[in-house]
Amino acid sequence: MLYMKDIDLNNKKVFIRLDFNVPIKGNEITSSERIDRSIPTIQLAIKKNAKIILASHLGRPKEGTYNKKYSLFPVYQYLKKKLPKINIIFCKDYFDNPIQIKSKQIIVLENVRFNIGETKNNITLSKKYADLCDIFIMDAFATAHRIESSTYGICDFVKTACMGPLLHSEIKILKKILYQPLRPMVTIVGGAKVSTKFQLLHSLLKITDTMLVGGGIANTFLSTRYSIGKSLHEKNFQKQAKKMLETKKISLPIDSRVKITDTVNSNPKIKSVSMIESNEEILDIGDQTIQKYKKIIKKAKTILWNGPLGVFELPNFRTGTAKIASYIANSSSFSIAGGGDTIAVIDLLNLKEKISYISTGGGAFLEFIEKQTLPIINRLNQF
Binding site members for ATP: 197, 313, 339-342
Q: Of 45, 25, 7, whose CA–CA distance to 17 is shortest?
A: 45
Among the listed residues 104, 294, 340, 354, the single catalytic one is 340
Residues annotated within the binding site are: 19-21, 34, 57-60, 113, 146, 197, 313, 339-342
Q: Is 363 a catalytic residue?
A: yes
Among the listed residues 34, 37, 48, 292, the single catalytic one is 34
Residues annotated within the binding site for (2R)-3-phosphoglycerate are: 34, 113, 146
Q: Is 320 a catalytic residue?
A: no
Q: Is 85 a catalytic residue?
A: no
Among the listed residues 82, 127, 193, 301, the single catalytic one is 193
Among the listed residues 92, 230, 271, 363, the single catalytic one is 363
Q: Is 286 a catalytic residue?
A: no
Residues annotated within the binding site for substrate are: 19-21, 34, 57-60, 113, 146
Catalytic residue set:
34, 193, 340, 363
